[in-house]
Amino acid sequence: MKTRVMLGLSGGVDSAVAAYLLKEQGYEVVACFMRNWDALANNDYLGNPTVNDQQCPQEKDYDDAASVAKALDIPLLRIDFVKEYWNDVFTYFLEEYRAGRTPNPDVFCNKFIKFDAFYKFALENDCSSIAMGHYARRVEKDGHYFLSKAKDLNKDQTYFLSQLSEAQIKACLFPLGELSKEEVRRIAAKLGLSVAFKKDSTGICFIGERHFKEFLHNYLPAQKGDIVDISTRQIIGSHSGAMYYTIGQHRGLGIGGISNQESEGWFVVSKDVEKNIVYVASGSQSQYLYSNYCLVTKLNLFPHYDIDGKKLKAKFRYRSQDADVAIQRIDDDTLKVVFASKQKAIATGQAAVFYDGSLMVGGGLISEVYAGDIRIDK
């Protein structure tokens, strides 16, 4: 009897090829399209470039998923997690921005929607496991399950999976872990799939591309405040809300040159959300952009892997290079992460993800950032 697997079919090329590979491997594949965002119900008007389109992007994606399912001769279900996404992902996203932090909704979308609500739906439909088109590898080591970086390091998505439990990892198959993106597109083209050369989705998980600052205005009212040069404490501009800015931001500040001062441009280096002040420094290599260590909380660690005292690699943003770090456990939910060399533009709220070689061994959220012994995130 074939093992019955439910695959998240998004309408993109990655999940399409994942479905094909699973079928070739002998699984009984049931595809399911998730709809997790309702622009009308969620007041998503400002910053939404598709708000006046006759067909919303999600329905276009569903049509593509239906085309793939028909071509592969697999059943396609459809499920709405709009309420769950709002309660478990988007509310957190807004609360973090309101507090002046920089959240990554994709991390919690995976934790609560794709690998929790979706898995429960799969079980209700007599599937023993789920599968996704993520670029990651599931590995078993000493009887325990971990995620390892994908073969295609440029597409590796383990950073976004850093809040998954071992049980969630064990329950999911990742058919694309050993393939490059180019190989995936070639397979899709050979099969004649309509999505073979479809553009990759970008933007916020399940929401898509948005003019970000305008998008936040739908939910977080603007409040004008000062932009201050951190070195001189001189007011050099104004902003519409400190919560809209992130550490290291360069564009969209609206600050011109200052007389009698050469500048490579201005960068956000700190925020005071309570006073609604954004602090900036001149130049991309300003000392105010760099830090020596951070504290990480909301930990997701594996009890069978002792992280304390380890020298590991850490990733602080999806596209950032891995950094050499030393880990010190402070308490049950706090790690001190010391950088071997100073790191640039580390922001609270971002995910910190730890690797032992290619093996992902845990993660958490950055809660405090320090230069020397001076806290610089507030």
Q: Which residues are catalytic?
A: 109, 205
For residues 330 and 204, give the distance between their C-alpha atoms in angstroms, rounded to a whole number.
33
Helix or strand run (H / E) with residue 69: helix 57-72
For 110, list phi and psi in degrees, rounded to 5: -65, -45
275: Cβ contacts below 8 Å, ≥ 6 apart: 225
Place of tokens 């970086």: 149
Query: Quick one: which of 320, 295, 312, 315 has its CA closest to 370?
Result: 295
For residues 258 and 253, give the distance between their C-alpha atoms in angstroms, rounded to a whole number.
14
For residues 19 and 254, give the distance between their C-alpha atoms in angstroms, rounded to a whole number.
47
Q: What single letter denotes the amino acid at residue 313? A: K
Could you give the 3-state DSSP secondary structure of residue 162?
coil
Query: Quick one: which of 305, 323, 303 has its CA closest to 313?
Result: 323
How many Cβ atoms from other residues are within 10 Å of residue 38's Cβ? Answer: 16
Place of tokens 């992280």: 307
Given a contact cutoff of 8 angstroms between Cβ atoms, the answer to whether 176 and 14 are in contact is yes
Tokens coding 99 = 């507090």
Give Cα 111 distance to the centre of its chain: 11
For residues 18 and 38, give the distance between their C-alpha atoms in angstroms, rounded to a whole number.
27
Query: Quick one: which of 173, 194, 159 has its CA closest to 21?
Result: 173
Sign of CA dihedral 219, 106, 269, 262: negative
For residues 211 and 188, give the distance between their C-alpha atoms in angstroms, rounded to a whole number.
31
Could you give the 3-state DSSP secondary structure of residue 131?
strand
For residues 6 and 127, give the distance between their C-alpha atoms in angstroms, rounded to a whole number.
6
For residues 115 and 79, give the distance between their C-alpha atoms in angstroms, rounded to a whole number.
14
